[in-house]
A and B are shown apart, each in its own frame.
Chain A
Amino acid sequence: MSTPALDTRAVAPRLATGRPPIPLARLVDVEVRKLVDTRASRWLLASVPLLTLVVVTGVTLWGRDAEVTFGMHTTTNMMPLELLLPLVAVLSVASEWSQRSALTTFALVPRRGRVVAAKAAALLVVTLAATLTVVVLSAIGTVAAAQVRGIEAVWDLPLDLGLRLAVANVLVVAFGFGVGVAIRSTAPAMVAYLGFMFVVPMISSVVAGLWTWWAENGAWWDLSWSASFVTAPEITGEQWAQVATSALLWIVVPTTLAVRRLLQVEIR
């Protein structure tokens, strides 16, 4: 232990408080890296272009000519993303507890709020990057499919729908993040998220069938319902408002409460 650094210490004792704090950008960089540096997360993210490739190939070979358009490709290819990205979000928080790496994470950065903010920012970066990747791959697929079939490539994705696809992805990822923060354990958090994705819409539609008030007003409360408006060809102002209220109920309020809890809990 006779490194130069130790000698420096002996000559001029460093002051603990005089240091610059860890910049948030550096924490975001670390959290992005954490999203892609384990086998589980790498497979999840790698499956996005792989699935896109499979879908594009399938549509090209067996689809009808009318289906081989940029808009169709993009919306179809977004579906696996919408399912997988929230799982990445759930894992990014829950695995810190299940793997107990939170012990090191929060010992290095005791201001937990900054870690939570960095995780959220990292997820936003990865979500937008993945969305853009799917759009680009869909464009390439559209050109390739048109070539193979000897037809004209059809560019029928309106810009506002393209942006709304991104918004929809951010919404589900935000929900997955909230589930991770609230449950902080990989398996139960995964179950809760998948339950929301599949069970809630089912219950909601059954209730809508029995109760006309819910059939008319359920979209104000049910996020899975209102989220489907976001990716529809057209969306009204009222539907945006329904997205807002249900997101408040399912994402903003629970995530806020869960983050406040996370800032207080003992890390074991």
Chain B
Amino acid sequence: MSGPRRVRSVTSMIRIDSLTQRYGDLAAVDDVSFTAFPGRVTGFLGPNGAGKSTTLRVLTGLARPTAGRATVLGHRYTDLPNPGLDVGVLLDASAQHGGRTGRETLALAQRTMGLPAIRVDEMLDLVGLTWAEGKRRVRDYSLGMRQRLGIATALMGDPRVLVLDEPANGLDPAGIRWMRDLLRGFADDGGTVLLSSHLLSEIEMVADDIVMIGRGRIVASGATAELLAGVGTLVRSDDGARLAAALTTAGFQATVRPDGAVATDADPADAGLVAFRAGLPVTELRSADGHGLEDMFLELTAADQREDSPARHAGLTDGASA
């Protein structure tokens, strides 16, 4: 993992180290390791039940791992003296006391962290909840409003690290855009963001790095750009078989797809040159971008999908088609 903007500072990031969490015979998280770097948004991607939430609960001290270790800013979360000032956490927006008002919910967090009372109003403003909405009980909030309230709680202590589990759930398109801009701004200011989602489209748009998890194991990780670029070129000619053979002879990998197009790991310029030298007229030549990650996501999680409930399946299809 390397990148020009990446700062390798042990004390200012999230590090998950050989983490395993077992429930009886089931390994919900199985030897998971990854790092979330400052200045970057790290997307934690996987189908429901893949182990994302369990990992985040261990990271934030709400669960004890069977083995391995999770640190944030170089410390175990439970060793942070006042963690709200260092790490903003939103694990489940629906997990808020319905009988309290939004404002009261924030006031409790503000008092716990020992912050001035003005932070409550500042945070309501920041997340776009009106004064009247702040006075309403959380029971009467939509999921989108609860997400905003949860984000307000997470940001209140002005932390350097954000840990968010499915923060886009329940947000309308404008809300999703708002969330994306907020996370981008947070990372651009040098903060570390780790957000989980089962929706590839969400992660793809905001994450600099992606960690993909399936059945408790990391199945892929790296910079989003690299994962996207890794899928090569699509080139089409009248005779796909000859084109593939020419590319193979030239030292590239090439396969003929069912629709006749040839997928190869050569870059577009090389693929075009090979076709030209072989005397094959090219009818289409482009990077196989965008959908590559989606294909990979579906492929990597295919085994899980088949055994998943219809609801989970719907969630995945959602992500793939969005």
Contacts and interface: CB of A to CB of B under 8 A. Distances in A.
Nearest to B190: A10
Contacts of B79: 17
A1 B113 contact: no
A12 interface: no
Contacts of B95: 99-104
Interface stretch (B60-68, B202-210, B218-226, B264-272): B60-68
A50 interface: no
Contact of A266 (B62, B94, B108, B113): B62
A208 B89 CA distance: 55
Nearest to A26: B114
B80 A16 contact: yes
A182 to B, nearest CB: 20
Interface residues of A, number: 42
Interface string A5-18: 11001100110110
Nearest to A38: B99
A108 B61 contact: no
Nearest to A3: B158
Contact of B108 (A10, A14, A34, A103): A34
B92 A110 contact: no
A34 B95 CA distance: 16
Interface string B158-197: 1010000000000000000000001001100110000000
A266 B57 contact: yes
Interface string A85-125: 00000000001000111111011111100000000000000
Contacts of A10: 189-190
Nearest to B12: A13
B61 A9 contact: no
Nearest to B108: A30
A37 interface: yes
Interface string A31-65: 00110011111000000000000000000000000
B81 interface: yes
Given A99-B98, A268-B57, A110 B80 contact: yes
A66 interface: no
B120 to A, nearest CB: 13
A241 B84 CA distance: 46
A148 interface: no
B321 interface: no
B85 interface: yes
B73 interface: yes
Interface in A179-229: none
A22 B82 contact: yes
Interface of B: 11-12, 57, 60-64, 73-75, 77-86, 89, 91-92, 94-100, 104, 107-109, 111-114, 137, 153, 158, 160, 182, 185-186, 189-190
24 contacts: A1-B185, A5-B158, A6-B189, A9-B189, A13-B12, A20-B82, A22-B81, A26-B112, A33-B107, A39-B137, A40-B99, A95-B97, A99-B95, A101-B97, A103-B91, A107-B60, A107-B83, A107-B89, A107-B91, A109-B112, A110-B60, A111-B78, A268-B57, A268-B62
Interface of A: 1, 3, 5-6, 9-10, 13-14, 16-17, 19-22, 26-27, 29-30, 33-34, 37-41, 95, 99-104, 106-111, 264, 266-268
